[in-house]
């Protein structure tokens, strides 16, 4: 008999799944203090939480019998995943249960915005009958831009077709075949900004998507564009949006999420007459709460019984001795994937991974998964983990090829990852040095030697005198400190690559200045940081 503790309120349907199992004893004890929870957790095989309970390393270590931790929802930032993984405890979430609710709330917000429903309702309830004031716009024949074409974005697009809207879709991992099957037009982000009458965002919040819509992007848009955000606060620069509303560039916005939650009551954006707001209600439906509770209950039961399960956010299924051998390569693989994802341009359609040297004697499938997680994370954020990364790649039409070769060249182990897009092929290589130290040893055929951690300025440029000095001067004037430098070239005066490890992020305007330096062909900021959940 397994004992399961539910420490946060979840739907009764989820509890019923557990109680009907026959081999599970369920205790629902909500509102416990951290001390009270730590005092009893040692009796339980599994723990189910939502966002209230903080599952710290101390609590995990007190759970002597714990085998599974389930989160009835998507985010697991209230769970110390690394501590759970080190104990071999499975951490599950329920990422799919709120898909329909979030898509429907997007449409509720979009329609309310188009027809000024909140203000019209308030006006009539105040005793006014002012039909002329609330002139709306039709959706039929308009262009809807959907940024992020995962589960929620694709559901939003399906409903747009019912309104006879033309849908533009932007997602770096969206294949042409899937776009055609969905009846949407696949475009680059700037084209979406220029052509859309309505724009809705459905991306996770990552360093790459923070302020994805800012002053520069708003300036590209049509006059009178309307913008909806039911995804994550921070994807839209709120100060820039407010300025665009005040100028009339943006006709209206509908926001369910904010950079600061709850937002200040005095926020001029919240109070703006052409802004529709709700307090983060995207998943707040009876059905969504039931779905996430049922999903996590079903997968938790499978995990306890040793059956195949999905939606794990860590990698507990390897034998401890194999995990110990693979851990350095899992870390290196994810870092290589992260680095490459931010270096390559275009729509990814193929990934080729080659293992050489001592690695060929190990089971490398988990390393391939870690590489895919790194590749997909800058775009998909928390949606991707080491369990679902291969499935998400396959769903987006990305072909993955894995090979082993005996020769590790000058390295006792070597991982090569090449990404092919509709524009280019780029390869990175990495190896483990010394005491399990990950190193980036080659970028696009140029030899380098750096630790793949932190911020990097990566330039492709012509090898000519003064290039390094000019870039260094721009960074110095911007207060960005250079920690290390690597320059790779094949021949004097030809094409070269430069990697500058820097202590902080480089502002977009500084990056643009560097890109304009004579001889610079491309300048990119790459940020490599892994969560340590293995």
Calpha distance 424→444 (Å, rounded): 11
SS3 of 155, please? helix
Calpha distance 220→242 (Å, rounded): 16
In this predicted structure, what is the pLDDT of residue 319?
Answer: 59
Q: What is the DSSP letter of 464?
A: -
pLDDT of 85 > 80? The answer is no
Please report the domains of the chain, with CATH numbers, ordered by start residue: 2-97+287-305 (3.40.50.720), 99-277 (3.40.50.720), 318-453 (3.30.1330.90), 455-523 (3.30.70.260)
SS3 of 3, please? strand
CA distances from 408 to 292, 385, 404, 411 (A): 46, 29, 10, 5
Place of tokens 């997602």: 171
- Shortest CA distance to 160 belongs to which of 81, 106, 208? 106
Q: 10 Å Cβ neighbour count for 36? A: 12
In this predicted structure, what is the pLDDT of residue 26?
Answer: 96
Contacts of 277 (CB under 8 A, 6+ apart): 254, 255, 256, 270
Contacts 24+ apart (CB under 8 A), 464-472: 464/493, 464/519, 467/498, 467/517, 467/519, 467/520, 468/498, 470/517, 471/498, 471/500, 471/514, 471/517, 471/520
pLDDT of 231 > 90? The answer is yes
Dmax of the chain from CA atoms?
81
Give the tokens for residue 32: 């416990």
| For range 207-234, the mean pLDDT | 95
pLDDT band at residue 408 using 50, 70 and 90 as cut-offs: low
In this predicted structure, what is the pLDDT of residue 317?
Answer: 53
pLDDT of 41 > 80? The answer is yes
In this predicted structure, what is the pLDDT of residue 318?
Answer: 59
As to burial, measured by CB atoms within 10 angstroms (0-12 exposed, 13-18 middle, 19+ buried), residue 82 is: middle
Give the tokens for residue 140: 């039929």
Calpha distance 474→481 (Å, rounded): 11
Beta strand residue intervals within 422-490, DSSP E: 425-433, 437-443, 446-450, 454-462, 482-489
Give the tokens for residue 152: 């929620």
Catalytic residue (one of 194, 216, 280, 349) = 280
CA distances from 433 to 339, 345, 355, 374, 407 (A): 18, 30, 15, 21, 17
Percent of the chain exceeding pLDDT 70 equals: 96
In this predicted structure, what is the pLDDT of residue 533?
Answer: 47
Contacts of 255 (CB under 8 A, 6+ apart): 109, 228, 229, 236, 269, 275, 276, 277, 278
pLDDT, one tens digit per residue, over 349-393 is 999 999 998 888 888 988 999 999 999 998 888 678 776 788 788
Pair type for strands 482-489 and 198-201: unpaired
Average pLDDT across the chain, whole number:
91
> 50 catalytic, yes or no?
no
| Preceding amide of 262 cis, omega within 30 | yes
In this predicted structure, what is the pLDDT of residue 315?
Answer: 62
| For range 52-76, the mean pLDDT | 93
pLDDT of 316 > 60? The answer is no
> 261 catalytic, yes or no?
yes
| For range 306-315, the mean pLDDT | 80
Planar angle of CA 369, 442, 421, nearest 5 degrees: 55
CB 283 within 8 A of CB 102: yes
pLDDT of 534 > 70? The answer is no
Contacts of 397 (CB under 8 A, 6+ apart): 175, 177, 178, 349
Calpha distance 177→388 (Å, rounded): 21
> 105 catalytic, yes or no?
no
Give the tokens for residue 440: 């980036």
- Rounded to two decimals, the pTM is 0.76
Which phi and psi angles does 91 have, rounded to 5°? -115, 120
pLDDT of 251 > 90? The answer is yes
In this predicted structure, what is the pLDDT of residue 40?
Answer: 97
Catalytic residue (one of 131, 261, 321, 491) = 261
pLDDT of 34 > 70? The answer is yes
| For range 429-453, the mean pLDDT | 91
pLDDT of 20 > 60? The answer is yes
Provide the terminal-to-terminal Cα distance of the chain, rounded to the nearest Å: 29
CB 156 within 8 A of CB 106: yes
pLDDT of 500 > 60? The answer is yes
pLDDT of 484 > 50? The answer is yes
CB 334 within 8 A of CB 373: yes
pLDDT of 76 > 80? The answer is yes
In this predicted structure, what is the pLDDT of residue 425?
Answer: 94
| For range 443-464, the mean pLDDT | 91
In this predicted structure, what is the pLDDT of residue 171?
Answer: 92
Catalytic residue (one of 50, 151, 226, 232) = 232
Higher pLDDT, residue 249 or 150? 249
Q: What is the DSSP letter of 87?
A: T
């Amino acid at each position: 008999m397994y004992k399961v503790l539910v420490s946060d309120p979840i739907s009764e349907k989820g509890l019923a799944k557990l109680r009907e199992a026959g081999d599970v004893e369920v205790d629902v004890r909500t509102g416990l203090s951290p001390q009270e929870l730590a005092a009893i957790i040692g009796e339980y095989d599994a723990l189910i939480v939502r966002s209230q309970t903080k599952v710290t390393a101390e609590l995990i270590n007190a759970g002597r019998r714990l085998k599974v931790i389930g989160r009835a929802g998507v985010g697991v930032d209230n769970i110390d995943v690394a501590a759970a993984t080190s104990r071999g405890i499975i951490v599950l979430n329920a990422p799919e249960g709120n898909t329909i609710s979030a898509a429907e709330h997007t449409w509720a917000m979009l329609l309310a915005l188009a027809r000024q429903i909140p203000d019209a309702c308030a006006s009539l309830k105040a005793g006014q009958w002012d039909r002329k004031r609330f002139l709306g716009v039709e959706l039929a024949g308009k262009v809807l831009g959907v940024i992020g074409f995962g589960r929620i974005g694709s559901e939003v697009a399906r409903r747009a077709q019912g309104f006879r809207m033309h849908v533009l879709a932007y997602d770096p991992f969206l294949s042409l075949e899937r776009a055609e099957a969905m009846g949407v037009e696949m475009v680059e982000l700037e084209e979406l900004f220029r052509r859309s009458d309505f724009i809705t965002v459905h991306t996770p919040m990552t360093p790459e998507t923070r302020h994805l819509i800012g002053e520069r992007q708003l300036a590209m848009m049509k006059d009178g564009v309307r913008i909806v955000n039911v995804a994550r606060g921070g994807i839209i620069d709120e100060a820039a949006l407010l300025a665009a509303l005040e100028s009339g560039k943006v006709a209206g916005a509908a926001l369910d999420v904010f950079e600061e939650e709850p937002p200040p009551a005095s926020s001029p954006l919240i109070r703006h007459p052409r802004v529709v707001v709700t307090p983060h209600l995207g998943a707040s439906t009876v059905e969504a709460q039931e779905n996430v509770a049922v999903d996590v209950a079903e997968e938790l039961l499978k995990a306890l019984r040793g059956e195949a399960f999905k939606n794990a956010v860590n990698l507990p299924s390897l034998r401890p001795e194999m995990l110990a051998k693979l851990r350095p390569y899992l870390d290196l693989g994810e870092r290589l994937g992260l680095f490459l994802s931010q270096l390559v341009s275009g729509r990814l359609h193929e990934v080729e991974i080659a293992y050489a040297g001592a690695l060929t004697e190990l089971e490398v499938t988990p390393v391939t998964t870690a590489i895919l997680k790194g590749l997909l994370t800058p775009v998909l954020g928390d949606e991707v983990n080491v369990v679902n990364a291969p499935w998400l790649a396959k769903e987006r039409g990305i072909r993955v090829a894995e090979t082993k070769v005996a020769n590790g060249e000058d390295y006792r182990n070597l991982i090569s990852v090449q990404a092919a897009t509709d524009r280019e092929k780029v390869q990175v290589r990495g190896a483990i040095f010394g005491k399990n130290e990950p190193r980036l040893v080659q970028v696009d055929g140029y030899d380098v030697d750096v630790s793949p951690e932190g911020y990097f300025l990566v330039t492709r440029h012509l090898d000519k005198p003064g290039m390094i000095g000019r870039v260094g001067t721009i960074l110095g004037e911007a207060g960005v400190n250079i920690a290390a430098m690597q320059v790779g070239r094949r021949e004097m005066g030809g094409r070269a690559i430069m990697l500058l490890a820097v202590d902080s992020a480089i502002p977009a305007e500084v990056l643009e200045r560097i890109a304009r330096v004579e001889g610079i062909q491309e300048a990119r900021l790459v940020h490599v940081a892994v969560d340590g959940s293995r």
